[in-house]
Structure 1
């Protein structure tokens, strides 16, 4: 073997933030001048310094290598034992390199930081605080959190009850301060208290805080209650007015149809009148042909116009992209009503992309491409009638990528008499 190495002290103890040293005796057992390089292996190599890092030795010459262990003061290096090894590599005889093993022990170092957020809390039933505990040391340990007020007006609870602090981490404790007695009205009451953090490894940490107790009934409760009563009264009056309003009809009175003919000449004899009456056929009333108001004639009676009732049926909805198949939005014709559909209008205010299809039952009324349509109107050809219980459907296929589609279909209809 070309080199010999002896670790004079195999076990070393060092405090965080300080230094500890040990020495290795290196001897050239070869017959030629050789160069040796020294390195530390293991977890301790990051905070260990080797002096010198290399040495040239004559045959039978010796050199002492110093190892300096300097663990930082903090949570970066935990307390405990760290095995290490010193490797001595020969340039002339690489296969003859040697390794000496040792053990360095890092002692415990505890440092605790505590902060209470918020410092001042308020409430009628409880105050909420969060205690942040920072373990700045290199050892895990538990603490005891206690809180007390000088007047004994409060009770305290904390979660977790016994927090365990790990090195380099922050532990949060939920602290609740509750008054022993509540009050309904009056001025706020302020209760100071102190939070104490106890640990076997560190000195106690005291934090001052305040809980401001509020009354159970806020000061504006009666004002809000009065406003609610007034609002309810206004709603009741409006609802009563709407319910009492009589429905109005735009249709005129039913026209009367004469059942007998008037004699063409006032000089006709009674016998001829009776004969004409007896020989006249029975007349079945039919839908009269309206005439202009104020126009009359022999053998005809005046008939009032029945104005058409125009209704706008609106179908709108929000269709979402990425949905398989069209999304349906519908209008159901109320029972007992019949509409004649005359026109259709599509509005695309958002400039959406996709398609819209409007149908009455299984009959398609219109189809549009949203990408080329912002607002379009059209008349419905023919006589399209929707009776009570029938469904007018707007089927929307949304092709947007970043937002829903919001088309609106408005149908112009006349209520059939």
Structure 2
């Protein structure tokens, strides 16, 4: 097997391992030294700083010297922020003792906003395969040149309205350095004015900013056909003097001016007028005759007689002034009205005058109050007694429990079953109205029975000694007719 020149069978003793030798300086990252030496390895850059343009390739030579006594293989690794877009070609290198060779550091910064413009330190780690502890790192700096690239988009591209149009101009900075963009506008017609909320935008790399745009028409359009106003927006980036000028970005848009009075308004007014006329005609043709007919049907003979009897009951009685009465005297020869010293009989309600028409009905009402003690049994009082030859039609009942007593209240009309049976603790005031009247025949009584279990206490008043309830009833008293 061939033997490489200068190769020894035993590993040579390094000077850094000899007793009393000066130890080598520790390696420091990014020290800025383009040349680094070890006892068996020397690595040097041709230049400690380099300029790289985005989207282009830049080569930086790196010279490697094998000052050892054996053949050595070296690997290269780029360290620092530029490692993602930098490589060493070739990636490995073998050298005989005393030989030197040059490799290239290839810098390829991308043309986008991920790599910002400016100076960035880097290092190239040279690692010997057999002696990895003898690694050296020559260091340098790369300056990425700035570039400007902007795009713009109008959102929305077209707008419409009667008073104004509103848009937003989105400007993207796709360069690697902050940029200031000046905004301008060119109207396609003289009948619309374009304005910005801010004339300039400061945009960071890889970011977008929005400029508010308003389009106002010079004249108002009250009615007619919509008018379209085209316009152009211009975004001009500001660049440094040492950079190439950048063409401005032009975006087209349009604003459609609508009339203030919409086109459907006349038709809507005509439709509303037609509907109004139709409703008026329907009222006079159908609804008004129906209402009149219902009013006529409601005026029945019974209603007329009841109204006449009510008017007569309100009129003053001529017999009470000392004149002769058409009603006749009582059976004992005395005056039943009490005008001649007799005691009048109490009546729950004033009796109407006798009508010449058979079966006449008169409105009648009555009320009664019942007091009852606790533990004393029930107490009953009569509210109304129907005279002979009459029938009372009960239609309304109102019961009151003002003290908030507890117990039982029963309203009866003389039949076997009571009309109402109520618990006092369930109400204070309660009213009942019957569509079908409850008939109380001649000689019948409407009574209220109270059985008190607990006397209530009124608000801000002393506690009474007995329960107290009231009953009010209403209806009509009808004269019985002979068959």
CA distance in 2, matches of 1:31, 1:166: 55
Q: 1:145 aligned to 2:183?
A: yes
Q: 1:304 aligned to 2:393?
A: yes
CA distance in 2, matches of 1:93, 1:46: 27
Q: 1:42 aligns with which of 80, 87, 94?
A: 80
Alignment-derived partner of residue 166 in structure 1? 204
Summarize the Cα distance change of 1:59–1:269 in structure 2 as closer, same or farther, 3 Å threshold.
closer
Alignment-derived partner of residue 98 in structure 1? 136
Alignment of 1:22-61 (within 5 A): 22-61=60-99
SS in 1 for 2:121: strand
Q: 1:202 aligned to 2:246?
A: yes
Q: 2:427 aligns with which of 379, 385, 388?
A: 385
Matched length:
296
CA distance in 2, matches of 1:128, 1:221: 25
Unaligned runs of 5+ in 2: 1-37, 239-244, 289-305, 314-328, 349-365, 368-381, 405-420, 431-471, 474-483
After superposition, give the CA deviation of every residue in 1:335-356 in whole Å (9 maximum; x if it has no partner): xxx999xxxxxxxxxxxxxxxx
Alignment-derived partner of residue 454 in structure 2? none
Q: How much has 1:223 moved relative to structure 2? A: 5.2
Using the size of structure 2 for normalisation, the TM-score is 0.51
CA distance in 2, matches of 1:53, 1:67: 10
CA distance in 2, matches of 1:218, 1:339: 64
Q: How much has 1:302 moved relative to structure 2? A: 2.9
SS in 1 for 2:137: strand
Alignment-derived partner of residue 187 in structure 1? 225
Q: 1:212 aligned to 2:235?
A: no
Summarize the Cα distance change of 1:127–1:29 in structure 2 as closer, same or farther, 3 Å threshold.
same
Summarize the Cα distance change of 1:387–1:219 in structure 2 as closer, same or farther, 3 Å threshold.
farther
Q: How much has 1:162 moved relative to structure 2? A: 0.2
Q: How much has 1:93 moved relative to structure 2? A: 3.8
CA distance in 2, matches of 1:90, 1:215: 82
Does structure 2 conserve the Cα–Cα contact (< 8 Å) formed by 1:25 and 1:65? yes
C-alpha root-mean-square deviation of aligned residues, in Å? Answer: 4.4
Summarize the Cα distance change of 1:282–1:308 in structure 2 as closer, same or farther, 3 Å threshold.
closer
CA distance in 2, matches of 1:65, 1:7: 10
SS in 2 for 1:125: coil
Q: How much has 1:152 moved relative to structure 2? A: 1.9
SS in 2 for 1:44: helix
Using the size of structure 1 for normalisation, the TM-score is 0.59
CA distance in 1, matches of 2:263, 2:271: 14
Alignment-derived partner of residue 283 in structure 1? 346
CA distance in 1, matches of 2:334, 2:257: 109
Alignment-derived partner of residue 344 in structure 1? none
Q: How much has 1:308 moved relative to structure 2? A: 6.7
Alignment of 1:298-337 (within 5 A): 298=388, 301-307=390-396
Q: How much has 1:19 moved relative to structure 2? A: 0.5
Summarize the Cα distance change of 1:92–1:281 in structure 2 as closer, same or farther, 3 Å threshold.
same
Summarize the Cα distance change of 1:224–1:278 in structure 2 as closer, same or farther, 3 Å threshold.
same
Does structure 1 conserve the Cα–Cα contact (< 8 Å) formed by 2:89 and 2:104? yes
Does structure 1 conserve the Cα–Cα contact (< 8 Å) formed by 2:335 and 2:342? no
- Segment drifting more, 69-78 vs 94-103: 94-103
After superposition, give the CA deviation of every residue in 1:376-411 in whole Å (9 maximum; x if it has no partner): xxxx994411559xxxxxxxxxxxxxxxxxxxxxxx
Q: 1:87 aligned to 2:125?
A: yes
